[in-house]
Chain A
Amino acid sequence: MRDQGAALIPSFQRPASRVAIRRAESYEEDLGTLLYETLREFQLPVRGKTVLLKPNLVGFDPLGVMNTHPSVIAAARESFLRLGAAQVLIGDGPAMDRDTEGILESVRLREHVGGLKNVFVDLNTDDVKCVPLPTRASRLRELYLPKTALGVDFLVSMPKLKTHHWAGVTLSLKNMFGIVPGGCYGWPKNVLHWAGIDRAILDINAAARPDFAIVDGIVGMEGNGPIQGTPKRSNILILGDDPVAVDATCCRLMGLLPEKVKYLPRAGSFLGHINSEMIQQVGEDIPSTRSSFAVLPAFRHLVDEHSSFGRRAAQKTG
């Protein structure tokens, strides 16, 4: 069982976080080797453990821009198994459509992973446990959360690199909305919106903090994300041992200011690091891999106007 209370105290202290940026030109590349080699550098404590990969599965996605790509999920699963994990599960609770099986088929996850029986867990309909929230960011005091997500040894958030029309960006922290079960809260999980998306993001991550994050940025989404935006190719994968640091790095890669994303500075005060001085960057550097993501006018304040990318993004958003 994961230690629910660890590392959640507001005055947290942790060493510098590590975030790796890797180039991947397409989903047809040997992502298994790329992820395995990168994960090995992190020396993760997964040998003999149960790992849960939590991708972002939203719905029918013919352009491959909405969901975490199945080849990335399959490569991550293969890599954790090679690292000695006893079991690597994949689980998600899609928010807008209760037809999880239909979503899995439409993204062809079965083909990539090679069978989902005893591998995929529908977190929307999993058995649940009432978890008192250790933080008071929103007015939520407790949440029923899936026993599978609470019971694994190592939880990996695997979002897509996307903008979001309510939260600004949707990355590894926002991706954790997917563990909140539709079977308790419905489709969509509207109670989280009423609690305040930004605040609920903090509460959920404090209650079930991901141990690691792998962001699919090979093709992401800009503009009116997370569903109706425009494909955005960045050709990168971002990995890290601190989801806050990963999200802050992703923002910088998108030409956005992490300090301006409502929930990130607060997450940076008790969940992880957003200060770049506390993030040890490995692999590619940010300037050489940055590409500006267009945002909706309501989020224009997120754009880093000081970078040439930011100026271009600002022009695109009008």
Chain B
Amino acid sequence: MNSLDSEKSVSANESANAAFVSSVCVPLLRNQQNEDGGWGFHPQAESRVEPTCWALLELMQVESSARDRETVQRGLQYLRSTQLPDGSWPATPGEKNGCWVTSLACWALCREEHGPVARGLEWLCKDWPWDSSPWQRFLRGLTAERSISTQNDAYRGWGWTPRTSSWVEPTSFALLLFSEVPETVLPSGSRKRRQLAEAMLYDRMCPGGGWNCGNPRVYGVPGEPLVIPTVWALLALRKYANRVENQMSLDWLLRAVQNAQSLASLALARICIETYGKSWPLPETRLSPFYERHGFLTNVAVTAWACLAWNPRPRLFTSSGRGRA
């Protein structure tokens, strides 16, 4: 195949994928909204905050009709109705404690209104992980645990759930939120939290670049990076795109995506790689056959990520890291 044929083929794939997303994926997302306005992780599943946020982030990008706007408004109302009195959001209905989905809910809401978002941000800024508290660090210094890992516990991000440890993905989600909301909405303590969290992410990077859940080295053995945590960390740190750690991790991602076997990894990697201004390295990827083999549309979050990755429109993230709200 000569270069002209190759370009035509790439262009045909991109068009086919965009058509698949707009004709199959987006309608599926619309149709999977529950009566209460939220989305479950799977069709007919009960509404949860996380899949609702991913579906909304996609549908807010494409809303074009009155029906779309109504779908989005019902989704946002679901989020408003599930916020807990302390400003956080729970992972599942009935749960009385908030968790990492608070960042996602604020992110989805922040383009519409700032009241609930400000309360969510307040909660996030008060939610300190326990592993890095002075008392825990003192205790760890007395035990054999200090030899297990080499991470710097002075850096603090966010845990998946309150009163636990800092991890890469929830920390990245909080940083992404901070970069999306206007400065005027950010609480006073947010600058310090952001600096500590960014330092924590760099500290938790795997030795050759990339991130896993947050264990770069255990018992002296380097941890293996994973695509999804690497994507979120790179997006959270995108304003430092030229730092050597970012470039190493981006290089790792560009290599790793060649072997990615799921649409979740492919879609998120594509969002990240394009946000960093690089060309998508797998132009031959075709969503339709991928779906026939894997049936990924049964997962609302993955469907939303695929839409966000292949819909031809402004990217989810600006490369600079300041919100578009």
Question: Which residues of A are found within 8 Å of B221, using beta-carbon distances?
Answer: 224, 228
The closest CB in chain A to the CB of B160 belongs to: A186
Q: Chain A interface residue count: which class?
A: 20 to 34
- Per the bound structure, the CA–CA distance linking A59 and B227 in Å amounts to 12
Instruction: Scan residues 122-143 of chain A and give those whose CB is less than 8 A from a CB of chain B.
Output: 122, 125-128, 130
Question: Which residues of A are found within 8 Å of B130, using beta-carbon distances?
Answer: 194
Q: Is A96 an interface residue (CB 8 A)?
A: yes
Q: Is B144's CB under 8 angstroms from A183's CB? A: no
Q: Is B228's CB under 8 angstroms from A185's CB? A: no
Determine which of B163, B167, B212 lies in contact with A194 in the assembled complex, contact meaning CB atoms within 8 Å. Answer: B163
Chain B interface SS verdict (over half)? loop
Question: Which residues of A are found within 8 Å of B264, using beta-carbon distances?
Answer: 98-99, 101-102
Q: Is B261 an interface residue (CB 8 A)?
A: yes
The closest CB in chain A to the CB of B163 belongs to: A194
Q: Chain B interface residue count: which class?
A: 35 or more
CB of B42 to closest CB in A, whole Å: 7
Q: Is A298 an interface residue (CB 8 A)?
A: yes
Question: Which residues of B are found within 8 Å of A128, using beta-carbon distances?
Answer: 92
Question: Which residues of B are found within 8 Å of A191, using beta-carbon distances?
Answer: 160-161, 164
Q: Is A130's CB under 8 angstroms from B165's CB? A: no
- Per the bound structure, the CA–CA distance linking A21 and B302 in Å amounts to 41
Q: Is B100's CB under 8 angstroms from A186's CB? A: yes
Q: Is A106's CB under 8 angstroms from B160's CB? A: no
A228/B219 contact (C-beta < 8 A), A125-B42, A186-B170, A191-B164 known: yes
Give the interface segment out of B5-13, B21-29, B177-185, B293-301: B293-301
CB of A316 to closest CB in B, whole Å: 15
Determine which of B91, B165, B213, B299 lies in contact with A96 in the assembled complex, contact meaning CB atoms within 8 Å. Answer: B213
- Per the bound structure, the CA–CA distance linking A189 and B221 in Å amounts to 22
Determine which of A59, A97, A184 lies in contact with B95 in the assembled complex, contact meaning CB atoms within 8 Å. Answer: A184
Q: Is A117 an interface residue (CB 8 A)?
A: yes
Q: Is A190's CB under 8 angstroms from B165's CB? A: yes
A144/B40 contact (C-beta < 8 A), A101-B302, A190-B159 known: no
Question: Which residues of B are found within 8 Å of A185, using beta-carbon distances?
Answer: 91, 160-161
- Per the bound structure, the CA–CA distance linking A128 and B48 in Å amounts to 10
Q: Is B154 an interface residue (CB 8 A)?
A: no
Q: Is B296's CB under 8 angstroms from A101's CB? A: yes
Q: Is B170's CB under 8 angstroms from A97's CB? A: no
Q: Is A296 an interface residue (CB 8 A)?
A: yes
- Per the bound structure, the CA–CA distance linking A105 and B295 in Å amounts to 13
Q: Is A54 an interface residue (CB 8 A)?
A: no
A98/B228 contact (C-beta < 8 A), A125-B41, A186-B167, A228-B218 known: yes
Proximity bits, A176-207, B CB within 8 Å = 1, else 0: 00000001111111110110000000000000
CB of B223 to closest CB in A, whole Å: 8
Q: Is A273 an interface residue (CB 8 A)?
A: no
Question: Which residues of B are found within 8 Å of A101, using beta-carbon distances?
Answer: 261-264, 294, 296, 299, 302
Q: Is A165 an interface residue (CB 8 A)?
A: yes
Q: Is B218's CB under 8 angstroms from A144's CB? A: no
Instruction: Scan residues 217-256 of chain A and give those whose CB is less than 8 A from a CB of chain B.
Output: 224, 228
Proximity bits, A52-70, B CB within 8 Å = 1, else 0: 0000000110000000000
Q: Is A188's CB under 8 angstroms from B219's CB? A: no
Instruction: Scan residues 268-318 of chain A and give those whose CB is less than 8 A from a CB of chain B.
Output: 296, 298
Question: Which residues of B are found within 8 Å of A165, using beta-carbon distances?
Answer: 148, 218-219
Give the tally of cross-chain contacts (CB within 8 A).
111
Q: Is A99's CB under 8 angstroms from B42's CB? A: no
Instruction: Scan residues 83-141 of chain A and give those whose CB is less than 8 A from a CB of chain B.
Output: 96-99, 101-102, 105-106, 117, 122, 125-128, 130
Q: Is B46 an interface residue (CB 8 A)?
A: yes
Question: Which residues of A are found within 8 Å of B294, using beta-carbon distances?
Answer: 101, 105
Q: Is B316 an interface residue (CB 8 A)?
A: no
Q: Is A183's CB under 8 angstroms from B92's CB? A: yes
- Per the bound structure, the CA–CA distance linking A190 and B165 in Å amounts to 7
Instruction: Scan residues 227-283 of chain B and give those whose CB is less than 8 A from a CB of chain A.
Output: 227-228, 260-265
CB of A23 to closest CB in B, whole Å: 32
Q: Is A187's CB under 8 angstroms from B219's CB? A: no
- Per the bound structure, the CA–CA distance linking A196 and B87 in Å amounts to 29
Q: Is B265's CB under 8 angstroms from A183's CB? A: no
Determine which of A97, A130, A194, A228 lies in contact with B228 in the assembled complex, contact meaning CB atoms within 8 Å. Answer: A97
Q: Is B14 an interface residue (CB 8 A)?
A: no
Determine which of A98, A117, A122, A127 lies in contact with B40 in the assembled complex, contact meaning CB atoms within 8 Å. Answer: A127
Proximity bits, B170-197, A CB within 8 Å = 1, else 0: 1000000000000000000000000000
CB of A308 to closest CB in B, whole Å: 27
Q: Is B46's CB under 8 angstroms from A127's CB? A: yes
- Per the bound structure, the CA–CA distance linking A194 and B261 in Å amounts to 33
- Per the bound structure, the CA–CA distance linking A298 and B265 in Å amounts to 36
Instruction: Scan residues 109-153 of chain B and give those whose CB is less than 8 A from a CB of chain A.
Output: 130, 144, 148
Q: Is A183's CB under 8 angstroms from B50's CB? A: yes
Q: Is B99 an interface residue (CB 8 A)?
A: yes
Question: Which residues of A are found within 8 Å of B40, using beta-carbon distances?
Answer: 127
The closest CB in chain B to the CB of A121 belongs to: B42
Q: Is B219's CB under 8 angstroms from A144's CB? A: no
A102/B261 contact (C-beta < 8 A), A125-B299, A127-B45 known: yes
Q: Is B92's CB under 8 angstroms from A144's CB? A: yes
Q: Is A184's CB under 8 angstroms from B213's CB? A: no
Question: Which residues of A are found within 8 Å of B84, using beta-carbon distances?
Answer: none
Q: Is B160's CB under 8 angstroms from A99's CB? A: no
3 closest cross-chain pairs (CB), A and B: A186-B160, A102-B262, A105-B261
Query: What are 5 A-B contacts defined by CB distance under 8 Å?
Result: A102-B264, A187-B160, A224-B218, A228-B219, A298-B144
**Given A144-B95, A228-B223, 14 further pairs, Cβ under 8 A:** A96-B226, A97-B226, A98-B264, A101-B263, A101-B299, A102-B227, A127-B45, A130-B95, A165-B148, A165-B218, A183-B50, A187-B213, A193-B165, A228-B219
